[in-house]
Amino acid sequence: MEYRTGTIGRVLTIRFDHGDDFLEGLKEIVVKEKIENSWFQILGAVRHADVVIGPEEPVVPPKPVWTRVEEAREAIGTGSIYMDGDKPVIHLHAALGHHGETITACVRKNTRVYLILEVILFELMGINACRPWWEEGGFNRLMFT
């Protein structure tokens, strides 16, 4: 275990609208605003997303089990963003519900908003961290520099 202490910098409130690509839009904002480290929460709904619902087996590196969300799903989640070089890497876990059925997943790509998705993003200051690819683990791992 490792940790660092820091403070909260800017706070961004963001609205994504119906059909927006949420993950790509969030990356664009982070790059535009020059945010290197952040934590965020989401509230709203998604219409489409490719997500990981767990590893096939509890081994390292894991073999992810993918599924695709194709119907409107209520969404609540929390995530972090750290850089891999000059590229933001998002790690988002969310509960996605539809007609009483909920999946909890790591939201990875191809996200489209249904109606609205609200985001509050907290910039983290004074923490020198990044999320480079970790070959041994098979994922982008949070690292302190």
Mean pLDDT along residues 1-16: 97
Q: How far is CA 12 from the centre of its chain?
A: 15
Domains of the chain, each with CATH number or no CATH? 8-125 (3.30.1330.80)
The predicted structure's pLDDT at residue 39 = 98
pLDDT digits (tens, 9 = 90+) for 9-57: 999 999 999 999 999 999 999 999 999 999 999 999 999 999 999 999 9
pLDDT digits (tens, 9 = 90+) for 91-137: 999 999 999 999 999 999 999 999 999 999 999 999 999 999 999 99
Is the separation of the CB atoms in 42 and 94 below 8 Å? yes
The predicted structure's pLDDT at residue 53 = 98
> For residue 61, is the peptide bond before it cis, meaning its omega torsion is within 30 degrees of 0?
yes
